[in-house]
Structure formats: structure tokens, C-alpha cells
Homo-oligomer: A and B are copies of this chain.
Amino acid sequence: MTRNPGMGAATRDTILRLAADQASVEGLGGLSIGQLATQLGMSKSGLFAHFGSKERLQLATIEDARRRYVEAVLVPALRAPRGIRRLDALCDSFLSYVERAVFPGGCFFAAAMAEFGGKEPGPVRDKIADCQRQWTATLQRAADAARDCAELMDACETEQLAFELEAALLSANWYVRLYDDPSYFDRARHAVRSLLEAGSTPTGRQALP
């Protein structure tokens, strides 16, 4: 294993990539420093030195996962034009991100939310909640924009709509994995379509692909 100075950051990235992959399957709590080290062919203490504590490893893992999430979900979707099409693109982009197995265990943050939701507060839980809030807010802002474009009806409650969209996306993430049945992606797309059509104006309905 190359051990150049300045390579520390690269090693760190390698560790975090594997850590996020692992955490999406085993959970952030199930992350094992020893197992990570073995899989990377390095020593436990050498890996540990990069973070100083398991909690800091978890926090760094979340940040790495967030970067990958932005890259895989937000960046592609934000190329869609403002309005109902971007809202639709966000949902589709999320489903595609689960489908492409960007993380091998499905959505990293869904897994983390389920794992830490009921736990006592702490830095890790707070960061997870923060990430989740940010994603929901992104959905809602897209819905607000669509309403401003008159593609969603004025009466549309965007916060409620964001909740219902998220619900369909998350459930697809769970069911696809539990039943090993990708048809739940179609179910989620169907649900998203229903929700968008129900809230859209004629203009908006026409804008939908």
C-alpha cells in the first residue's frame, strides 16, 4: 500500500467511500473499524488514526455520503427546467439513484434515518436529521417554484405534497430491497404521477412528460 505524504486525504476518501457503502447495508452503528481495515488491506490502528473516534468516523461518513447524494440525485435533477418538471425530475432522480445502487444498501439516508430516528439525540442523529430536512426542503422549494409558475394550483399545500412524494419514494426504497422486487419502483413512479397530476393546473399537466 502506497504511503506517501499527501496521500492521507486520498486514503481517507477511500475509507469513507467503503464506509458509506457498508453503512447503507449494515447501518452506521454496524460500521466496524476492524472490518473496514481488513477489507482495505490496512491496519485497524492506521485506519483509526484518520478519525480518532468511531463517532467522528460516522460523521465523516455521513458527509461523504451527502456529497455522493448531491452528485447522484440533486445535480442531474437540477438540470430540469424550473417548475413541475423539476419536481418530477427530483423524484425520478431519487428512484434512479436507488435503482442504480449508488449505495449497495439502497438510500444511505433512509437507512440512517430508520436507524437513528428513535435514538437519544447526539451529533450523529442531528446530522442525519439535518440531511433529511435539507432534502425535504429541496422537494418543497421545487413544489413552491412550480406553484409560482402556475403549474401547480394555488391551493396546493406544498409541504403536504412534499411529504406524500417522499413517502412514496422512501417506501419504494424499503420494499424493493425487502422483497427483492423492482416493480415497486414503478409503483412509486405511478404514485408520484398521481400526486403531481392531482395538484397541477392544465398548464402543469401539459408540461409533464
Contact = CB atoms under 8 A, between A and B. Distances in A.
A28 to B, nearest CB: 11
B191 A164 contact: yes
Contacts of A174: 113-114, 117, 170
B178 A163 contact: no
The A contact surface, by secondary structure, is: helix
A184 interface: yes
Interface in A81-112: 104-106, 110-111
Contacts of A178: 113, 116-117, 125, 128-129, 132
Interface residues on A, range: 35 or more
Contacts of A187: 160, 163
A61 interface: no
Contacts of A115: 27, 114-115
B171 A167 contact: yes
Contacts of A128: 178
A160 B190 CA distance: 8
Contacts of A167: 164, 167-168, 170-171, 191
A128 to B, nearest CB: 7
Interface in A151-178: 160, 163-164, 166-168, 170-171, 174-175, 177-178
A70 interface: no
A207 interface: no
A100 to B, nearest CB: 15
A118 B177 contact: yes
Contacts of A30: 29
A24 interface: yes
A110 B105 contact: no
Contacts of A106: 117-118
A33 interface: no
A79 interface: no
A163 B170 contact: no
Interface string A36-78: 0000000000000000000000000000000000000000000
